[in-house]
Structure formats: C-alpha cells, structure tokens
C-alpha cells in the first residue's frame, strides 16, 4: 500500500490530535476538568510512556511514528505537550514544531475534505473550490511554445484576506507569502494544497504555543518526575540574554549593544525560542560572520531555535562563512534588502548593517 493511502486510512485524531483542545481532551478521557498535575501524575502508564516517546523524538529531532490506536495517540499528544512545557519554552516549541511539521506532511497526502475539516476545526476559514474538475481557480502563468499553448497554475483553495494576513504574518519575511505575490480575487487569497498545508502548520504552532500553560518549575510525582529530569539533560543550556554581552571574536571584542535594531530583534526572537524564517537566519548568520563572530558562538545562538539540528546548522553556517562548498564568504544583507524583506524595525540612516555596527561601536567607545 502506498504511503498516501496509509495516511488517508489513519484517523483524523491520530494525524491531527491538536483538533481536540486540552479542555476537550480532559472531558473525553477523565470525565471533566482535572488539574494538569493530576493528569501527568496519575494518567494511565501507557499514555505516559507513549507521551515520553513523542517528547524524546521531538527533542532528539527523530521521526515519530504513531500507532493505529486513536485514544493512545490523542492522550499521548496532550500529555507530551504538558511534559515538554514543564521542561521550558524551548522544549515546548521544539515539541510543537515537530508535531506541526508532521501534520504538514499528512496534509499534503490527505484528501481535500480532510484538509478543510482540519482547518475548520482549528477555526481557519479555508474553502475547497469545487468546479467539477481538479484545477479549482486556474490562472495563466506563461506559455509553452506557441501562444495558445498556455501554462495554467491551479489553485484549489481560497481563504479570506482577513484570515490570511494574521496567519501568514510569521511567513512574510519570505517574499512569496507577501500579499502582493498572491492571487487575490473578491476578497479571497487563492492557494494550492501545499500552501494551505503550510498555513495550517503555522497556525498550529501559534495555537499550541499560546494555549499550553507554562509548567516550568512545576514538580510532579514518581516516575514522571524522574523522566523530566532525564529529558532535561537533552535541553541545551541557556545562553546569556542580549544585554551588552562581550564576545571574543577574530576582530576583537564584539559588543551586542552596537548591533543594529533589526539584528537585536531577530536575536530576541531566537532567544525566546521563536521560529525564524530562512531570510532571518541568513541575515543574522551573515551579519555575525562579517563582524568576526566565530562559528561555534553562532551555532550556540541558533541552538535556541525550536527546529535546531546541529549537523545541518553547522554545515550551513560554515558554508556562509566560506569554510565549505564554494569557499565563498557571503556578505551581510544591505538595509534596502532588510526593508524589502520586512525585517527593518527602525530607520537608522545607514545603508548597511555592518556600517551601523561600526559607527555605533565607535560611539560607545567615545562615551
């Protein structure tokens, strides 16, 4: 049986357990509202053990394979949320990112009915366009050979602009998600299945992060407390906040107080364990590389990212630094480029991030 056929046979609650809220989960499995501590302390052992597998998979960046038991998967998902929250915000974001990415892969292979059902369950007003065929809203994107041989791009879903903008806001640093680059008609943004799945993935992350209580510092009982202590060893150590930390670098002492506001903003998001776009990662890494910060420090900084993978991150940073591949050292973005990508947070009156840093550093030294 092909993978997409296997995926379609799985229960919605196995593939997308987040469509049942924590409150609904407690009523379904415990008959009412229990304290979160009681759920974790006194939940069924098989629920707890499966939740531990989920959390370990997320923290270690491993693929999680669900069972075919709906109740077990639904319960373990929510208990996993609580366990990861008890480990801190980085762990929670890592867990949520892992679950959201897996849901994205399921959505790509799932039926159009299930895609819209998941969206509606989450409160996202996505519509599937039925036109008797498979194309939905077809737009001409070019020509192949002769003028009458058109290339048509099919957009099978639509979402109101008022729904699209808040959900896509975390993606707007990627040029393709800007409204000007979307096909808009009669107040709707038209999208293909892959784009809808990506929007749902982003909304799932936002929803779960903001609906899960902060349990860091809560002490549990028995085995679960031992498990949390064990899992905490996987969580990277905290780095110092961006408060003027002085860093040793090839160019001498690096002072974060002299960083441009846009870079400080990206670092703040990263240290808050928020997901960064590709453009944000590139901007931060190339800026730090070009002021002389070493690869290891940059790697430690990126460790805060919920989707951090050390092997991939090190390769990418070393590639940007000219230590791998073409051996070409990448330059930092210009201020105009930062503005076009929506990453500029203040008009600093300079043309480049490096210029801002050097001028600010001189100003600090004179003070």
DSSP characters for 295-357? HHHHHHHHTTSTT--HHHHHHHHHHHTTSSTT-PPPPPPBHHHHHHTT---S--S-SBHHHHH
- Looking at residue 254, its pLDDT comes to 74
303 token code pair: 């460790």
Q: What is the mean pLDDT of the chain?
A: 81
Phi/psi of residue 184, nearest 5 degrees: -120, 135
pLDDT at residue number 54: 93
pLDDT at residue 305, as a whole number: 82
Give the pLDDT score at 240: 37
Q: What is the pLDDT of residue 33?
A: 63
- Alpha carbons 154 and 141: distance in angstroms, whole number: 10
All residue ranges of the chain with pLDDT < 50 are 1, 238-251
- Per residue in 181-231, pLDDT (tens digit) is 888 989 999 999 999 999 999 999 989 988 888 888 777 776 777 778 888
What's residue 18's pLDDT? 92
Q: Quote the pLDDT of residue 96.
A: 93
Q: Which DSSP state fits 191?
A: E
pLDDT value for 139: 67
Tell me the C-alpha distance between 76 and 13, whole Å: 12
pLDDT at 308: 81
What is the CATH code for 246-366?
Answer: 1.10.579.10
Residues 253 and 293: their CA atoms lie apart, in Å, by 9
- Domain positions in the chain are 3-112+208-230, 123-199, 246-366
């Amino acid at each position: 049986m092909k993978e997409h056929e296997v995926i379609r046979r799985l229960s919605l609650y196995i593939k997308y357990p987040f469509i049942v809220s924590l409150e609904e989960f407690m009523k379904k499995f415990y008959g009412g509202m229990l304290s979160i501590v009681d759920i974790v302390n006194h939940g069924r052992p098989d629920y707890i053990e499966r939740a531990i597998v989920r959390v370990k998979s997320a923290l270690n960046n491993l693929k999680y394979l669900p069972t075919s038991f709906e109740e077990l998967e639904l319960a373990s998902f929510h208990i996993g949320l609580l366990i990861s929250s008890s480990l801190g915000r980085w762990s929670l974001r890592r867990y949520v990112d892992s679950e959201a990415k897996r849901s994205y892969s399921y959505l790509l292979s799932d039926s159009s009915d299930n895609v819209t059902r998941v969206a509606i369950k989450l409160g996202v007003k996505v519509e599937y366009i039925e036109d008797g065929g498979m194309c939905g809203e077809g737009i001409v994107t070019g020509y192949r050979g002769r003028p009458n041989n058109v290339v048509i791009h099919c957009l099978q879903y639509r979402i109101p602009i008022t729904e699209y903008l808040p959900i896509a806001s975390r993606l707007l640093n990627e040029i393709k998600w800007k409204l000007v680059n979307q096909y808009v008609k009669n107040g709707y943004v038209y999208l293909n299945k892959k784009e809808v799945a990506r929007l749902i993935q982003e909304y799932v992350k936002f929803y779960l992060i903001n609906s899960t209580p902060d349990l860091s510092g809560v002490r549990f009982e028995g085995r679960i407390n031992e498990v949390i202590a064990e899992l905490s060893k996987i969580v990277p150590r905290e780095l110092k906040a961006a408060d003027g930390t002085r860093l040793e670098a090839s160019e001498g002492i690096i002072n974060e107080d002299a960083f441009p506001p846009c870079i400080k903003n990206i670092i703040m998001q990263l240290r808050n364990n928020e997901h960064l776009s590709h453009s944000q990662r590139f901007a931060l890494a190339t800026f730090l590389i070009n002021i002389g910060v070493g690869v290891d420090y940059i790697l430690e900084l990126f460790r805060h990212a919920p989707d951090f993978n050390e092997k991939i991150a090190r390769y990418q940073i070393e590639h940007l630094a000219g230590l791998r591949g073409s051996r070409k050292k990448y330059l930092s973005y210009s201020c105009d480029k930062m503005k076009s990508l929506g990453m500029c947070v203040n008009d600093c009156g300079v043309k480049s991030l490096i210029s801002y840093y050097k001028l600010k550093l001189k100003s600090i030294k004179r003070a």
